[in-house]
Amino acid sequence: MSFPVGVATVFAGLLIWAVLLVRGLQTGLYRNAIYCGIALMLFMNMGYVINGVPASIASFIGIYDVLMNVGLSPETSAAAVSMCADNACTAWGDVYTQHPAWGAAFYDRFANGPAFRSQLLYGHIVFNSIAFVLLHVQLFRPGYGSNRAAHRVIGKMSFICLTISLVCSVWLASEHGAVQAYGGVLAAYGFYSMAAVVYACAVMGVLALRRGPDGRGVTAHRVWMFRYAGAMWGSFWLFRVLLFFTDPLFRDYEAVAILISIWISAPAGAVLGDLVRRRLDGTTAGTARHRELSGIAN
């Protein structure tokens, strides 16, 4: 077995990210942690484009194999644990022969499924990655003063990429009703709800600006963009981080772990995004600066 470099890189990145998050909590400065999260997301997502879908899914499943197999012997059977043909669904080779059932199903659906299914996955991953990066450009360079024109153009590009990404994801989700390892119909509607939360926050942000360029419109736009950013972080990172804990915790219950991530990640992320915004606005300097830039009278 060759050492799974991709899996090790993700674990190293997660460790660095954890250190930066702790540092951010101590200092109140989170930009480095945000940059690390974005870079790690791009590393994981671009692997699909560079290495192809089956190899990237095997690497992805390899991340969860480690904790899922803690205390699990080869003779043990569990409702949320599965094997796959030739053990091809993991980057660990024969080290781990039992995997999260949702992971084995994920691999089989794309390694042995129609080419169009993989094209939809590529579309979702690529355009979602672009939208994810652009939303941070927008947050770090608000559309005030000389940034207004560029902010508007980038916003339109981001919204188009988000729309394409979510169309692909909803199309894929429409097939999940027959996949029991995902949770069947509950998984399909869960992914619909995830897309709805993300898109609703983005749409509300756009509509807020259309109320007019006055301070209230700008303030509402900013509120919804933080919620949108939180929903995007939740859909990507909270979804995946939750599985580290829920996979081994609920391995005796079919599809419970994956359903928790599907249903909770986006709305919880939106709430967390709003809490971050409130914390930033709670500082005297932050509130004064926002009022000055948005034209809100004191």
How crowded is residue 272: how many other Cβ atoms within 10 Å of its Cβ?
18
Q: Two tokens at 261?
A: 């991530």
**Single residue among 60, 90, 113 that ends a domain in this structure:** 113
Provide the domain limits for residue 66. Answer: 1-113
pLDDT attached to residue 162: 97
Do residues 79 and 218 share a domain?
Answer: no
Q: What one-character DSSP code corresponds to residue 112? A: S
Do residues 149 and 297 share a domain?
Answer: yes
The pLDDT tens digits for 50-103 are 999 999 999 999 999 999 998 887 777 789 999 999 999 999 988 999 999 999
Do residues 151 and 291 share a domain?
Answer: yes
Do residues 270 and 243 share a domain?
Answer: yes
pLDDT of residue 217 exceeding 90, the answer is no
The total of structural domains in the chain comes to 2
Do residues 141 and 229 share a domain?
Answer: yes
Name the pTM for this structure: 0.90
Q: Two tokens at 40?
A: 């790690």
Determine which of 21-25, 119-123, 158-162, 211-215 has the lowest per-residue pLDDT on average: 211-215
Do residues 131 and 97 share a domain?
Answer: no
Listed in sequence order, the DSSP H helices in the chain are 5-27, 31-51, 53-68, 101-111, 115-140, 148-173, 185-210, 215-233, 239-249, 256-281, 284-294
CA-nearest of 100, 93, 89, 94 to 65 is 100
pLDDT attached to residue 154: 93
CA atoms of 174 and 276, how far apart (whole Å): 33
Do residues 81 and 104 share a domain?
Answer: yes
CA-nearest of 63, 83, 81 to 72 is 81
Do residues 92 and 140 share a domain?
Answer: no
Contact between residue 6 and residue 59 where contact means Cβ atoms under 8 Å apart: yes
Do residues 272 and 166 share a domain?
Answer: yes
Do residues 236 and 202 share a domain?
Answer: yes
CA-nearest of 70, 49, 56, 52 to 9 is 56
**Single residue among 113, 135, 159 that ends a domain in this structure:** 113
CA atoms of 227 and 217, how far apart (whole Å): 16
Do residues 89 and 124 share a domain?
Answer: no
Do residues 130 and 234 share a domain?
Answer: yes
Buried b (16+ CB within 10 A) or exposed e, 140-168: eebbeeeeeeebeebbeebbebbebbbbb
Contact between residue 267 and residue 199 where contact means Cβ atoms under 8 Å apart: no
**Single residue among 64, 89, 113 that ends a domain in this structure:** 113
pLDDT of residue 222 exceeding 60, the answer is yes
